[in-house]
Structure 1
C-alpha cells in the first residue's frame, strides 16, 4: 500500500512554490506513489500529439494541446477560508450500527485544520 497524503481529490489548494506560486485551483488527480498532484489551471504544459487513425471514430487530429502537468504535493497547501492551513488528523470515537440493529463502538480518523482545529 502506498503512502497516505494529506491532500485529496476535490480539495482547493494554493501553490506555495514554483512558477505558479500564489495560484489556487482544485485538485484533479492525486498520485500517491509519486507524491504528486494535478491542480486545475496550474503547471500547464504544451503537448505535441501525433495524428492517430485519421478520420476514424476515435481518431486524434494531432497538433499541440495544452494540459496540466503534476506538481509535488509539498508545493501546495490546503485553502481554508481566506488563508491556507496545515492538515492534522484526529481520531473520534463513534457508535456504529450494524444491519441487524446492534451497535458497536469504533474509531474514525478525520482530517482537521491545524489553524482552527475544525474538521475539514
Structure 2
C-alpha cells in the first residue's frame, strides 16, 4: 500500500504544475515530439524536456523511438488509475449527499403546513 501511496504522490505532484497539465492535455490528442510540445510555451526546449522527464517518472507519459524522432505518448492506463482513485472518494461523498437530501426531504415534508392549516 505504501508503494501505491508513493506512486500517487509522484503523479499528483507531477500534475500540480500547469505546464505539465497542458502537456498532458496536448498528448491526449496524440503523440508529439518535444519540439511540438514546446511550441506553445515561452520556455526553452530543455525546460519542456525536464517537464517531460517529471511526467515520465510519474509514469504518466512514455517515449518511443521512430527513426530520428522520439515521440512522447500519454499513458492512459496511469491516468485511469488516478481517476479510479479519485472516483472512490467521489462516490462516497455522493452517497453522503444523497442521504442528506433524503433527510432534508423528509423533514421538509413533516414541517410544511398543509393547505387547510394555512387558512
Quickly name the TM-score band, shorter chain normalised: under 0.3
More strand by share: 1
Instruction: Give the TM-score taking structure 2 as reference length.
Output: 0.22
Structure with higher RCO (Cα < 8 A, 6+ apart): 2
Instruction: Give the TM-score taking structure 1 as reference length.
Output: 0.22
More helix by share: 2
Higher Rg: 2
